[in-house]
Amino acid sequence: MDPTNTNTALCTAFAEELARSGVRLAVISPGSRSTPLALAFHRQEGIETEIALDERSASFFALGAAQASGCPVVLVCTSGTAAANFHPAVAEADLSAVPLIILTADRPPELRDIGAGQTIDQIKLYGDAVRWFCEVGSHSADDAGLLHFRSVACRAFAAAGGDPRPGPVHLNFPLRDPLSPVREEGKVTATRRLALEGRENAPLTSIERVTCGADRSTVSRIVAMAQGAERILILAGRQGDQGLRQPLARLANACRAPVLAEPTSQFRLGPHDRGAVITTYERIARRRDSALAPDLVIRLGEFPTSKQLRLWLAEVDPAQIVIDPSYGWHEPVRTADLIVRCDPATLLLQIENTSEQRIDGPAGKQFWNRWMEAEREERISIEDAWSGSDGLNAGEVHALLAGLQSDGGLVYTASSLAIRDQEESLPPIDRDLLFLANRGANGIDGLIASGLGAASASGRPTTIVTGDLGFFHDVGSLALARDLEVPVRIVVLNNEGGGIFERLPQRDSMSGEEFEALMRTPSGLSVESAARLYGLDFRRAATLEALESAFGAGGDSVSVIEVPVSG
């Protein structure tokens, strides 16, 4: 605790508690009102600081870092519109259950609503998107004030980390002058050692979370539903736990259940048994083949991106079991029989230990074989389309990029068309990669910053895959790449505008001029010029061979690779 003045004492006590709780990164956007907070985190042992001029870039960088690490990341900004620029990332963190601790400096109460500069209403600025809001208040550096700041820090860490559902927390700090570390004698009047120093090598208040599965009756119900079904499908949607691979593979084999695995499920690629993986379910769902229709669906993670799969399952209406530890309500089909809120790995082990016999029967084996044959047919069809297309196809680019990454790498994929092409085309190869994406609010904003944050926090070699519009939407975040000490490839799939709209009804219901101006919106901007502006290595790759060469040429720095694609 720094006793220089009231602000330094309170803010350093706050930063101490977050460091002792487990925070390792604070992303700070410069400003005057936030000086005591910024200094406290910059000086705090055990916490790294990242400085980002643009608050939107800062917030998405923090989002990506928290998503990759699973640990709450601190965001600091000054008063006024700075805090409003955090809002898109807060919305994504809310829907994706990503832990963020947002600290907004504010004018004290006597300077609000009187026309003072750089002042907006910051009370509950993010509405219901945060797990907890606290107006921290103006306090003296006495025993009560210091213990209040320490306690608020511990509670914020607990709420962000999952109490019960992870997500963003917003703390608003009304700070009075002096904002700089000017010495003021006699301002720290606390006498209790606990208030002045906290606990030695431990937070003031620790939160212990117990990993638990389902109760016995729930496990028995799941097993009974599986044993009573003849055609079981497993849907593996977005979730970040690579430790689920082996237990999920064992369940799939025991049930003879094909696994429709989105890349961000972490199950499609990896060193585990991938014999159950189905990758072409978007195309298979379009068949509306009754022989492939399940009578039971077991889902882990969020529902996959595929629209056709969602529509088909709504038509088929199988029984559904959703295993969701997030305490959210991820049920877009709206007909689930059972939602189980518990640790998935523990539940899978419980099911394995409860099942005294194999769950599948002859009908299940036939169902499995039909799905595997459909997968083979569609993969051949996809590869034939690649070889017959003019220029590069985005799908084959995704497949090559996954193969070029070394084990332990990370792939961060943009929303819109990039994530859909990846979902539809990526084969289940033996590569141990972590796949992340911002699929909570599904916006294209902040992709570069999110990917750079994930790379920084994880230390993993990272590939960021985005379209040209997503790239230019977040082009300012390239400023965060200059000092990054992790190899990052930013691959821009350039189809000259919003290619996803070619797949939507607007394409045929608008004139060509209207569609081009309002939907396709080609930017006419230069990817190369943007990369050069920020001092980054740039290469253009129009063939798979050129892409492989460009990918390997970037070394340990951040580079931008533009890939012209059709569609």
Residue 517 has pLDDT above 90, yes or no: no
| Whether residues 373 and 445 fall in one domain | no
| Whether residues 222 and 139 fall in one domain | no
In a domain, 202, yes or no: no
How would residue 357 be classed by pLDDT, with cut points 50, 70 and 90? low
How would residue 487 be classed by pLDDT, with cut points 50, 70 and 90? very high
Considering 115, 150, 177, which residue would you say is the last residue of a domain? Answer: 177
| Whether residues 347 and 413 fall in one domain | no
| Whether residues 414 and 359 fall in one domain | no
Which residues, 6+ apart, have CB-to-CB distance to 527 below 8 Å?
468, 471, 492, 494, 538, 560, 562
Region 413-439: mean pLDDT is: 93
Cα–Cα dist 208/264, whole Å: 28
Residue 419 has pLDDT above 80, yes or no: yes
| Whether residues 394 and 367 fall in one domain | no
| Whether residues 114 and 263 fall in one domain | no
| Whether residues 317 and 220 fall in one domain | yes
Token pair for 465: 């895959």
Region 366-384: mean pLDDT is: 96
In a domain, 209, yes or no: no
In a domain, 36, yes or no: yes
Considering 337, 360, 379, which residue would you say is the last residue of a domain? Answer: 379
Considering 360, 379, 398, which residue would you say is the last residue of a domain? Answer: 379
| Whether residues 30 and 159 fall in one domain | yes
| Whether residues 486 and 560 fall in one domain | yes
Residue 22 has pLDDT above 70, yes or no: yes
Could you tell me the residue range of the domain that residue 494 belongs to? 390-566
How would residue 500 be classed by pLDDT, with cut points 50, 70 and 90? low
| Whether residues 433 and 355 fall in one domain | no
Region 357-386: mean pLDDT is: 87
In a domain, 237, yes or no: yes
What's the pLDDT score for residue 359?
Answer: 63
Region 485-506: mean pLDDT is: 83
**Which residue in 103, 225, 200 sits closest to 160, CA to CA?**
103
How would residue 482 be classed by pLDDT, with cut points 50, 70 and 90? confident
| Whether residues 54 and 18 fall in one domain | yes
Count the Cβ atoms, other than its own, within 10 Å of residue 28: 23
Sign of CA dihedral 149, 150, 156, 157: positive
Q: Read off the CATH number of the domain in which 457 is found.
A: 3.40.50.970
| Whether residues 41 and 172 fall in one domain | yes
**Phi, psi of 194, deg, nearest 5:** -65, -40
Which residues, 6+ apart, have CB-to-CB distance to 50 below 8 Å?
25, 26, 27, 28, 58, 61, 456, 480
**Which residue in 258, 301, 252 sits closest to 278, CA to CA?**
258
Q: Read off the CATH number of the domain in which 310 is found.
A: 3.40.50.1220
Cα–Cα dist 63/447, whole Å: 10
In a domain, 186, yes or no: no
Cα–Cα dist 220/215, whole Å: 9
Cα–Cα dist 412/60, whole Å: 13
Going by the DSSP 8-state scheme, the letter that residue 264 receives in this structure is G
pLDDT in tens, 537-553: 999 999 999 999 999 99
CB distance 363 to 228 below 8 Å:
no
Please name the helix (run of DSSP H) or strand (run of DSSP E) that holds residue 134, with its range, or none: strand 132-135
In a domain, 384, yes or no: no
The CA-atom distances, in angstroms, between 135 and each of 163, 187, 462 are 19, 22, 38
What's the pLDDT score for residue 250?
Answer: 94
Structural domain count of the chain:
3
In a domain, 27, yes or no: yes
In a domain, 158, yes or no: yes
Please name the helix (run of DSSP H) or strand (run of DSSP E) that holds residue 75, with its range, or none: strand 73-77
The CA-atom distances, in angstroms, between 496 and each of 86, 135, 325, 562 are 29, 46, 40, 11
